[in-house]
Amino acid sequence: MRVEDKPIMDPYGRFLRLPEVEATVGLKKSKLYALMKEADDPFPSPIHVGTRALWVEADIVAWKAKRIEKARQNRSD
């Protein structure tokens, strides 16, 4: 098997545009950008590809997992 024939494992997932990020997280643009400014566990910042702002799917998933874990810990305290 050649290297070109092997499937590439992508640990980062897809690039997401703002509407997809809003749908995934359930928050609107203004809240997301406010969360990016938080000192404690900020929302992931987009990367820029040309003129587009794109978010890395894995960063969003990791942020959501941390928020869920934190909420569950606070609930059980």
pLDDT over threshold 90, residue 1: no
For residue 17, the SS3 value is: coil
Map out the domains of the chain as residue ranges.
3-76
Which of 2.40.50, 3.40.50, 2.60.40, 1.10.1660 is the CATH number of 3-76?
A: 1.10.1660
72 exposure class (CB count in 10 Å sphere: 0-12, 13-18, 19+):
exposed
Widest Cα–Cα separation across the chain: 54
| 59: Cβ contacts below 8 Å, ≥ 6 apart | 12, 44
pLDDT (tens digit, 9 = 90+) per residue, 30-72?
Answer: 999 999 999 989 999 999 999 999 999 999 999 999 999 999 9
CA distance 15 to 75: 33
Give the pLDDT score at 3.
58
Q: Which residue has the higher pLDDT, 30 or 9?
A: 30
In this predicted structure, the answer to whether residue 76 has a pLDDT above a threshold of 90 is no
Report residue 5's pLDDT band, with 50, 70 and 90 as the boundaries.
confident
